[in-house]
Amino acid sequence: MSERLLKKVLGSKITRGTLEVIGHKGDSETFGTPTEGYPDVTVRFADRKTARDILLDPRLGAGECFMDGRLIVEKGGGIMEMIQLIRANTPWESGQRLQAPSVLKRVRNRLSFLARSFNRPASAKRNIAHHYDIGNDLYALFLDKEHWQYSCAYWPGYPEDRSMSLDEAQERKLAHIAAKLDLKPGMRVVEIGCGWGGLAIYLARKFDVHVTGITLSEEQAKLAVERAEAAGVADKVDIKLIDYRAFAESGGKFDRVVSIAMFEAVGRPQFETYFRCCGNLMKQNGVFLVHTIGRMGGPGSTDAFTSKYIFPGGYIPALSETLAASEKFRLIASDIETLRLHYAPTLRAWYDRCMADKDAIVAMYDERFFRMWTFYLAGATAAFESGGMCNYQIQYVRDRHALPITRDYMAEGERQLLA
């Protein structure tokens, strides 16, 4: 019964590209039509419970079935191609008639993100450790080699020009961000969520500024210190293992505040606290830049697979709720950029590197972890290629005179960095 119902659902969704489904008894049915640009994939259900688990919660059920080896991609690539096929047939910008969300949907989304995203200081460190303290050796396999950037790269020629490497695209991202910060020698910078120190080291070397990087990940902090020493900027880069809320209470003031791919871990009920803390860390003529994954629609909820296995306590913000929280503290949004496509090639590059190093990852963990990790990367890729995810870079000032009144300085600064 579950397999028949699931096949009926797939038959209504898959029209471009083909999906062949082989049931647990060996019966086969194919949905869709071969179409250029869409993959042709064959999957097999290993047992009768597979279809039921997917129907009960498509994202979590499919993820766990794939992790357990019960949802098997037999032809047409791997999990990346399967998810791409399904998601591309139901794109976010599908041109449907615009309607107000139902009351049920609004209530469900509201209850869901309230229940999952409080992320107070006591739980924030535990949530960060869940993802980032699993071992630096894993990240070394798929991140860019010089900067260790675990965030959206910048691909100015994409999708027409796909020749740029991941390492070059991450260098471009750092230059893009640095240009928006409008740095001058001797400035004091704080990076909230500094990762493995890539941006801090880059800024210290390029601009002769002092950067304080804060993180809750012990693994990241340790390696960031080592990398700063190896880069010869240990006197300009200070790494602290501390929560941003506690750090803001110290009363320090900085010329620049920057936060890259950390806001997603804050949790919706903490948005106002986050912006109050960042505002208090800024000098009156300071500049604050936040780079975050975002929703192209309104507020929503984190899917069950991501909450359970990848980013517990995390929440992807809509632009509306981000600005609503920041404007309460007289932070002026001086520039907003939507990176609509850049994360998709970044994630595909990470996925390809993980697939190439499958044996090493399995040796570090096991087959189930490898399938979990690649399901996460594949699902995230589909969300940026066909779903409602994007990236936002929002620049804030407290004084309207803090920066030039046109964006020309950004383009010129970026050009000089890349020369």
The answer to whether 308 touches 59, Cβ cutoff 8 Å, is: no
Domain that residue 72 falls in: 2-88
Pairing of strands 332-339, 389-397: antiparallel
> Tokens 């029209």 label which residue?
15
Q: How much is the pLDDT for 143? A: 98
- The stretch 134-147 carries a mean pLDDT of 94
Looking at the domain assignment, is residue 94 inside a domain? no
Same domain, 17 and 130: no
Domain assignment of residue 203, yes or no: yes
Number of domains in the chain: 2
Q: Are residues 280 and 145 in the same domain?
A: yes
Same domain (yes/no): 317, 405:
yes
Q: Mark whether 18 and 123 lie in a shared domain.
A: no
Residues 6+ apart with CB under 8 A from 24: 3, 45, 46, 47, 48, 50
CATH of residue 50's domain is 3.30.1050
**What's the CA gap between 238 and 221, in Å, rounded?**
10
Q: Based on the domain organization, do 58 and 148 belong to the same domain?
A: no
Residue 121: HSE in the Cβ half-sphere, 13 Å Cα cutoff = 9
At residue 93, the pLDDT reads 86
Q: 134, 220 in Cβ contact below 8 A?
A: no
Give 16's DSSP letter.
B
pTM: 0.92
Owner of token pair 């008894």: 25
CA distance 167 to 146: 7
Tell whether 103 is covered by a domain. no
Question: 88, 108, 142 — which closes off a domain?
Answer: 88
Structure tokens at 107: 């209530």
> CATH no. for residue 142?
3.40.50.150
- Same-domain status, 172 and 260: yes
Asked if 23 and 137 sit in the same domain, the reply is no
Whether 216 is covered by a domain: the verdict is yes
If asked whether residues 30 and 173 sit together in one domain, one would say no
Q: Are residues 342 and 400 in the same domain?
A: yes
83 and 124 together in one domain? no
Asked if residue 95 belongs to a domain, the reply is: no
Q: How far apart are the first and last CA of the chain?
A: 62
pLDDT confidence band for 416 (50 / 70 / 90): very high
**Residue 35 belongs to some domain of the structure:** yes
Are residues 84 and 220 located together in one domain of the fold?
A: no
Residue 107, in any domain of the structure? no
pLDDT at 110: 58
Q: Round the average pLDDT of the chain to a whole number and report it.
A: 93
47 plus 146 within the same structural domain: no
Structure confidence by residue, pLDDT tens digits, 389-410: 999 999 999 999 999 999 999 9
The residue among 264, 262, 147, 266 whose CA lies nearest residue 214 is 262
Q: Please check whether residue 13 lies inside any domain of the structure.
A: yes
Query: Looking at the DSSP assignment, which residues form a beta bridge with residue 42?
Result: 20, 75
